Chain A
Amino acid sequence: AQSVTQLDSHVSVSEGTPVLLRCNYSSSYSPSLFWYVQHPNKGLQLLLKYTSAATLVKGINGFEAEFKKSETSFHLTKPSAHMSDAAEYFCVVSDQRAGNNRKLIWGLGTSLAVNP
């Protein structure tokens, strides 16, 4: 069965310092992996996705994530946090079995706070 674990429910960083949001997954098949961001009182926006191409994936707003199969991880990083990055971040997994209906499994979210 597939599952997603976001290892930190809350992360707090100072503006200008690196961001690391951790995500581990479990999947019996080759997964597709996604990071979504939700700003306060806003909908969900796709940050980036991995679908079996390059293992280092670059997304919007300077975020990137690396798919590490040996570690079953897909951690989200950004070199320098900005105040506008404060939001809730969700790691999502979907397997790629042929014919599968590609249901998404969502992590519980990591709340990122950015301090001045």
Chain B
Amino acid sequence: DADVTQTPRNRITKTGKRIMLECSQTKGHDRMYWYRQDPGLGLRLIYYSFDVKDINKGEISDGYSVSRQAQAKFSLSLESAIPNQTALYFCATSSNSGNTIYFGEGSWLTVV
């Protein structure tokens, strides 16, 4: 089984709809992250959480929200999806040293 599991893996949604991407991890790590990947732009950090009570904005948090339901779960929400949020989204986790990050396999989101 994967250490970091993302659902759904693929989703097409309409502009204005609410969509949630879920992430769970079995590494027992405190730190979790959401990134988006766009061609030519690399990975950009949306939100990160260093424990259940700690949520921080990343470099591109506008239009997104997150919820850390438990140590193992970190979900990303788009309250009102727009087409430029079409991207590949990655959830990740790391230990408190932060030296190695483990990624999920990604969630393709298309907003039409």
Contact = CB atoms under 8 A, between A and B. Distances in A.
Given A43-B90, A43-B105, A44-B90, A49 B99 contact: yes
A43 B42 CA distance: 13
A50 B103 CA distance: 19
Given A43-B90, A43-B105, A90 B43 contact: yes
Contact of A32 (B56, B58, B99): B99
A103 B106 contact: no
B99 A106 contact: no
Interface residues of B, number: 23
B34 interface: no
A77 interface: no
Category for how many chain A residues contact B: 20 to 34
A106 B92 CA distance: 14
Contacts, number: 47
A24 to B, nearest CB: 15
A45 B18 CA distance: 30
A103 B42 contact: no
The winner among B44, B99, B106 for most chain A CB atoms within 10 A is B99
Interface in B24-40: 40
13 contacts: A36-B103, A42-B106, A43-B104, A44-B90, A44-B92, A46-B102, A49-B99, A49-B100, A94-B99, A103-B48, A106-B42, A108-B41, A108-B42
